[in-house]
A and B are shown apart, each in its own frame.
Chain A
Amino acid sequence: MASTIRVRATSSGETTEVQALIQHPMDSGFVKDAKGEVIPPHFIQELTFEHDGKRVFVADWGAAVSKDPYVKFSFKGGKKGDDLKISWVDNKGATDTATAKIQ
């Protein structure tokens, strides 16, 4: 299965900027489908970024995060060629993981 995670991590000087875009419906549980039935909540709850074995950023998300969620942050450290590990878990217990190289 292709990964749901797209990441761009670029380091410049001491800082690494990370942008991530994840494919996920992020259904809030408030929307009804064409038949008038409520689409149950289905959204990423926790998204974790790790560099060098250390968590550099953790996102705790609710259903109000937009579909195909995007997030951007920066951290000190990280250089070209380093691995950045990204993983998420949603409210149904599904998960995905990806590793990106810092450019």
Chain B
Amino acid sequence: MTIVHDGFSATRRVILKGAGAVALVGLGNIPFSLAPAFAAANDKYPEDAFKAKSEADAIKSLYGKTAEPSDKVKLDAPEIAENGAVVPISVSTTLADVTSIAFLVSENPNALAASYKIPAGTMPSVANRLKMAKTSNVIAIVEAGGKLYSATKEVKVTVGGCGG
């Protein structure tokens, strides 16, 4: 009886210890899964934003806020793009404290085309070449001082950029 009694207590203690250990390990796991989420805010490739279909969803996914149009964002894009596979688009801005610049093409299957991180000391201006599936609005987003500003231009595309 004594042995059985001890056995039960020991078993209960072992189980409780084990449960405690598992609980502690479980707690230990949380920072690991949270860390990538925090890192995503700053450093990780914005996979979800690139998967978004609409420009509103892409901007929300990338920045978590909405943009207001600003004439301080100068978007340079051709009126007509003969080759939708290679459309030269650039943006520059006089806004201060720019941390990020992004380009979206509304009528593309996934609106977000490119996003750039602008560390302190880097000029807020980027030139790149994007694919456009068809005539569409091109939107440049500038994140400056924690707020979002945008400029939009319609680019007519004669030959679509997704392959004939």
- On A, residues with C-beta under 8 Å from B are 15, 28, 30-32, 45-46, 54-67, 69-77
Minimal Cβ-Cβ distance residue in B for A77: B121
A interface, over-half SS: strand
Whether B121 contacts A45 by the Cβ 8 Å rule is no
Whether B127 contacts A66 by the Cβ 8 Å rule is no
Whether A46 contacts B121 by the Cβ 8 Å rule is no
How close is A20's CB to chain B, nearest CB, in angstroms?
10
B150 in the interface (beta carbon within 8 A): no
Chain B residues near A59: list those with CB within 8 A: 114-116, 128
Contact-size category for B: 20 to 34
Whether B85 contacts A67 by the Cβ 8 Å rule is yes
Whether A76 contacts B123 by the Cβ 8 Å rule is yes
How close is A92's CB to chain B, nearest CB, in angstroms?
14
Partner of B117 from the list A45, A54, A58, A64 (CB cut-off 8 Å) is: A58
Partner of A57 from the list B105, B110, B118 (CB cut-off 8 Å) is: B118
B122 in the interface (beta carbon within 8 A): yes
Contact with A along B116-155 (1 / 0, CB 8 A): 1111011101111111100000000000000000000000
Whether A73 contacts B122 by the Cβ 8 Å rule is yes
Whether A60 contacts B130 by the Cβ 8 Å rule is no
B108 in the interface (beta carbon within 8 A): yes
B59 in the interface (beta carbon within 8 A): no
